[in-house]
A and B are shown apart, each in its own frame.
Chain A
C-alpha cells in the first residue's frame, strides 16, 4: 500500500504541478485545489500510463478517496 501511495504522491505532484501535495489514503478531491473534474481525467490517464494498467470505467467511478485508487492499482498489478 505505502509503496504505491508514495509513487502516486510523486505523480500527483507532477500532474498538478504542486510540490506541497501530501497524500493519505483518506485524501479526497476537495482537499487538493487543483483536483477538479477536468484534471481528474488527466490524472486517470497519467496513472494508467505510469503503472501500465487499464482501469474499467465503473472502477474509476466508484473511487471515493486516494485509498481506493491505490486499491484499484494493487488489484490491476
Chain B
C-alpha cells in the first residue's frame, strides 16, 4: 500500500492482506540497497495469521519516494514516523542487516512504541570494505556483484531456493540493480559505515529481542552478532547452520519458524 510519511509517498507490502490497524503491527525493514521483496517469505505468513504487516521500502528504495536517508539515526526516527502515520501506537520491528541497525536505533529512541524486535544478520557495527563502499558510491554495478557474492552462503552460490525456480544471487542482485546503486546502495553503505552508536543503542533496548544469525555469514559474522546480543538485555540468540547473510531467503522456513515462535510469545495476536 502507499501512504504518506513526512509528506513523502511511501510504499509497503502488506503481505497480501489489507492493512488493519486493529491488528498487532509488525514492520519489516530491509537491508542495504534492497526492498520489501526480500521479506516475502515471512510477511505473507504473518499477514494471514492475525497480524498487520508493513514490509516497507525505505525512502529512495523500491517504490518509496526519495531521496534515501543518509544516516541510521534518521532512518530509526523515520520508522517511528511510519508508526505514527498509519495510526498505530506500537509495533514489533524485524530488520535484516542494515535494517537491524535501524531497528535498534528506533527501539532505543522510542522504547514506548516498540513491542519486540527481531534482528536477522545483525551486528553492533557494520563497517564497510572501503573498495566496496567506493564502488557503490560511484554507482558501479560491480558493487552489487561483490555484495551478492559475500551476502550468500552455500545455498546462494550452488542453489536450492526455498521457492522452486528462483535464483538467489540473481534475484538479490536484480532488486538492488532495479533501484539505484549510487543513490540507494551507496547511501546505505555510507550510513552503515558512519554509524557508531550500535552498542549504545543496544544497551538502551528494553523490549524482548532475538538475534537470528547464519553461521556462514561473511558480512555480519556470528561472533559480531553474538557480541551485539550480549549488549541487549535478555536477547535470545538463534544460529542457523550453513546459512549466509541472506538468512531471510536462504533459510526462509527456519527463520520464519523462529520469528513465529518469538513474535507470538512477545506480541501475540488475538
Q: Do A and B bind each other?
A: no
